[in-house]
Structure 1
Amino acid sequence: MASSHSALLLGDSAAFTAALRTLVNNPRFSDVTFLVGGEQQEVFAHRCLLSCRCEAFHAMLNQPRETQAPLLLSHVQPEVFLAVIEYLYTNCVTLNNAIALEVLTSSIEYGLNDLRKLCVEFIKDSLTVEQACEALQAAVAYGQMDLQMHCLAFIENCTREVVHTCGFLELSELAMQTILQSDCLAIDEVELIHVVQEWAHVGSAVLGSPVRDVAKGVVSELRLALLSPSELTTLEKENKKDQMIPIEILAEAWKMHALWKGRGTRSCLCHRRHGTLPREHHRHLVPQHK
């Protein structure tokens, strides 16, 4: 008796994908409609496909078939939602710099891990000075460590350009801390202090809070001991205007200068960054940054 034989044979996947692509936002045979964005743009879809491809949509659509009322999604832009729909139908996604970060956000919201990976790779490959901080912000907010490290490395290489972008001024406190903790920033500490001060003033205007309160969580990451005594004196005078830097932090910087011969200077706040300009007292700071 002949033994049975079976095999899974693959057809033309490109043709299959192309056929499914014709159903994207196609009202023909559509059984669910989304009203997307502030203008409530109609997007047509098919329940069975969305449900089997995404647990979040399965839960959203798990209601009687006779319920035909459109589903309102005002928090997402139409082009972003259509990119998600394209991925669900075709397992491919068309991205550009204008929507990639928002598609990443949606992929995390809907639990689409493969789409998340595609977004992360696209963002990493197309990162620009203007978008570096926005991408870092998203990475920090959503715990995307791979993207966070890539963005931080980019910012370290282009620090002086990045700190003058709008994205830098819009960073959260946690994202700003992430940047300031780096030894590899290509910027001198005096300039870094000034751009952090600008960031704090913007935050103060937006939040209606004093500059010192906005900056409270990040000023401790500034390395004031790297400044020369004359620069510290100037900073103290400037600081009287907005009191961004607490007196005790300034006092600690002076203490490090006074104790340069002792172990009091063995602090991470004495580590020179890649962009730190040399000062005479730096030869006494340990350990040296290489």
Structure 2
Amino acid sequence: MASSCSALLQGDPAAFAAALRTLINNPQFSDVTFLVGRGQQKVFAHRCLLSSRCQTFHAMLSQPQEMQAPLILSHVQPEVFLAVIEYLYTNSVTLNSFSALEVLTSSMEYGLDDLRKLCVEFIKDTLSMEQVCEALQAAVAYGQMELQLHCLAFIESCIREVVHTRGFLELSEAAMLTVLQSDCLAIDEVELIHAVREWAHVGSAVLSSPVSDVAKAVVSELRLALLSPSELTVLEEENRKDQMIPMERVAEAWKTHALWKGRGMRSCLCRCRRGTLFREHHRHLDPQHK
């Protein structure tokens, strides 16, 4: 008797995906309706497909309810939700520079790690001056270290242009700290302090809080000791207007100048950044901390 054998043979995956694509947001044969976004746009889908592809949808659609009752998703934009649906149906996704960050957020909300990876790669490949701060903010907020490092490297190289973007002025406190802790920023400290002051004033207007409160956590990363005595004097004059920098921080910078002779300045806040312009007193910096 001849022995039996079996094999798993693959058909054309493109044809299969194309066929499933015709079901996306197609009311014919659909058995679940979502009302998406503030305008409650209808999106049609299929329970068995969503449940098999995503544990979050499996839990959502397993709850006892009327089969025809729409599910309301007011927190997500229709374009973003349709991108998630597209991925679940076809294992591919259409992204653009306006929706990619929101699709990334949804991918983590729904536990779709492969979609998350696709979003991260797209964002990295299409990063622009206008969007890099928004991407950094999302990366910091959602713990996406790979994307965070990529965005930071982009910012470090062109920080003088980035500080003039709207995205920089809208950075969260955590994202701003990430930027200011870098030694590789290609900008002088005077220009950087001015940019942080603008950021703090915008935050003050939005939050209706004093500039000093908005900037409280981030000013500790400004390297005041890199400024010359004349620049520190100008800084003090500016600071009287908004009190962004605590007076003790300015006093510490003056103290550092007074202690030059006979010792190196060891604080990391005396360490020059990549774009720091040379001042005469920088000769006194501890070589290990330059």
TM class, shorter-length: over 0.9
TM-score, normalisation: structure 1 = 0.97
Verify the 8 A CA contact 2:264 2:286 in the aligned structure 1: no
1:262 Cα deviation (Å)? 4.8
Over aligned residue pairs, what C-alpha RMSD do you find? Answer: 1.3
* Counterpart position of 1:200: 200
Mapping for residues 97-176 of structure 1, pairs under 5 Å: 97-176=97-176
Verify the 8 A CA contact 1:36 1:76 in the aligned structure 2: yes
Inter-partner Cα distance in structure 2 for 1:193 and 1:223 = 9
Amino acid at match of 1:100: A
TM-score, normalisation: structure 2 = 0.97
Mapping for residues 1-290 of structure 1, pairs under 5 Å: 1-64=1-64, 66-263=66-263, 265-287=265-287
Q: Secondary structure at 1:34's aligned position in 2? A: strand
Inter-partner Cα distance in structure 1 for 2:19 and 2:262 = 74
CA change 1:263–1:7 in 2 (3 A) is farther
Verify the 8 A CA contact 2:264 2:284 in the aligned structure 1: no
Amino acid at match of 1:102: E
1:263-288, Cα deviation, whole Å (9 max, x unpaired): 56111111111111111111111236
1:65 Cα deviation (Å)? 6.8
Inter-partner Cα distance in structure 2 for 1:228 and 1:6 = 79
Verify the 8 A CA contact 1:36 1:74 in the aligned structure 2: yes
Inter-partner Cα distance in structure 1 for 2:103 and 2:258 = 52
Deviation beyond 4 Å, 4+ runs, structure 1: none
Q: How many residues align?
A: 290
Inter-partner Cα distance in structure 2 for 1:265 and 1:65 = 68
Amino acid at match of 1:40: Q
Q: Secondary structure at 1:20's aligned position in 2? A: helix
Q: Secondary structure at 1:72's aligned position in 2? A: strand
Verify the 8 A CA contact 2:188 2:275 in the aligned structure 1: yes
1:67 Cα deviation (Å)? 2.9
Q: Secondary structure at 1:248's aligned position in 2? A: helix
Q: Which runs of 5 or more residues in structure 2 are unaligned? A: none
Verify the 8 A CA contact 1:155 1:162 in the aligned structure 2: yes
CA change 1:65–1:241 in 2 (3 A) is closer
Inter-partner Cα distance in structure 2 for 1:107 and 1:161 = 31
Q: Which runs of 5 or more residues in structure 1 are unaligned? A: none
Q: Secondary structure at 1:121's aligned position in 2? A: helix
Q: Which moved more, 1:66-75 or 1:120-129?
A: 66-75
Verify the 8 A CA contact 2:264 2:285 in the aligned structure 1: no
